[in-house]
């Protein structure tokens, strides 16, 4: 499969041109990505969904993560990136349906399949109010191993250390494609490593979505 190319930037987000995915992560170039958290209400409760990354992912395999996310490839705008929601979850959405939650930056250093990487991303963060049932989601097998959901108040407590784990309901892909509903104990340390304050602040923002 052909390698992706990204628009790359300096620290002040001045354009530097384009680079391949591997070059971008080898040299630590700033690049842009898209985050979207799916949420809905159940009575008085605000629910958030999050994905479990596939074990074959090159970075953070088997970690919990944003419901749908992805890099902007060269020439794309954030409006184009709404495609990630349909690709990863089978949910069709328009950019106009998204609720902006702001912008975040992250810098991560790690190793992917024995190769060191420096990941510097500027991410536009959104929410999507979506009542599609869990078992109606169409998970992208290459990217998403499962999707779980939890009450945002409980998620805030999890990321602020008030509880050690949550038992969350979700759907998982199996080798034969079956997605039985099940539960799983989820811990904050099992999410893609970001500042706990990032996750807690997102949950608070989701709490206020209409």
- The full set of domains in the chain, from first to last, is 5-207 (3.90.79.10)
Summarize pLDDT for 60-76 with one digit per residue, the tens.
899 999 999 999 999 99
156 sits in which H/E element: helix 152-159
The pLDDT-based confidence of 209 (bands split at 50, 70, 90) is confident
Say yes or no to pLDDT of 116 above 90: no
pLDDT of residue 178: 65
Averaged over 105-110, what is the pLDDT? Answer: 86
Q: In this structure, which long-range contacts are made by residues 158-167, counting pairs with CB atoms below 8 Å and at least 24 apart in sequence?
A: 158/186, 158/187, 158/188, 159/188, 159/196, 159/197, 159/199, 159/200, 159/203, 160/196, 160/200, 161/188, 161/196
**What number is the average pLDDT over the span 96-125?**
89
Q: Where residue 1 falls among pLDDT bands split at 50, 70, 90? A: low
Q: How confident is the model at residue 115 (pLDDT cuts 50, 70, 90)?
A: confident
High-pLDDT (> 90) share of the chain, %: 79
Q: Does pLDDT of 179 surpass 80?
A: no
pLDDT at 74: 95
Better-scored residue on pLDDT, 58 or 162: 162
Strands of 5-142, DSSP E? 5-9, 15-20, 30-42, 45-53, 64-65, 68-71, 99-112, 115-129
Task: Say if residue 118's pLDDT is above 70.
Answer: yes
Q: Could you tell me which residues are beta bridge partners of residue 6?
A: 19
What pTM was estimated for this model as a whole? 0.92
pLDDT given at position 60: 87
């Amino acid at each position: 499969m052909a390698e992706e190319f990204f628009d790359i930037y300096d620290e002040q987000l001045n354009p530097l041109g384009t680079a391949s995915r591997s070059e971008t992560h080898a040299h630590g170039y700033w690049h842009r990505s898209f985050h979207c958290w799916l949420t809905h209400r159940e009575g008085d409760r605000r629910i958030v969904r999050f994905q479990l990354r596939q074990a074959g992912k090159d970075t953070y395999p088997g970690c919990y993560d944003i419901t749908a996310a992805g890099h902007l490839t060269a020439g794309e705008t954030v409006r184009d990136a709404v495609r990630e929601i349909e690709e990863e979850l089978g949910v069709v959405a328009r950019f106009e349906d998204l609720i902006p939650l702001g912008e975040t930056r992250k810098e991560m250093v790690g190793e992917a399949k024995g190769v060191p990487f420096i990941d510097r991303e500027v991410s536009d963060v959104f929410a999507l109010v979506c009542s599609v049932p869990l078992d109606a989601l169409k998970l992208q097998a290459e990217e998403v191993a499962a999707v779980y959901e939890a009450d945002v108040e409980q998620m805030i407590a999890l990321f602020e250390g008030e509880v050690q784990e949550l038992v969350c309901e979700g759907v998982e892909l199996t080798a034969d494609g079956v997605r039985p509903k099940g539960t799983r104990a989820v811990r904050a340390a099992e999410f893609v490593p970001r500042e706990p304050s990032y996750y807690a602040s997102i949950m608070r923002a989701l709490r206020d979505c209409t």
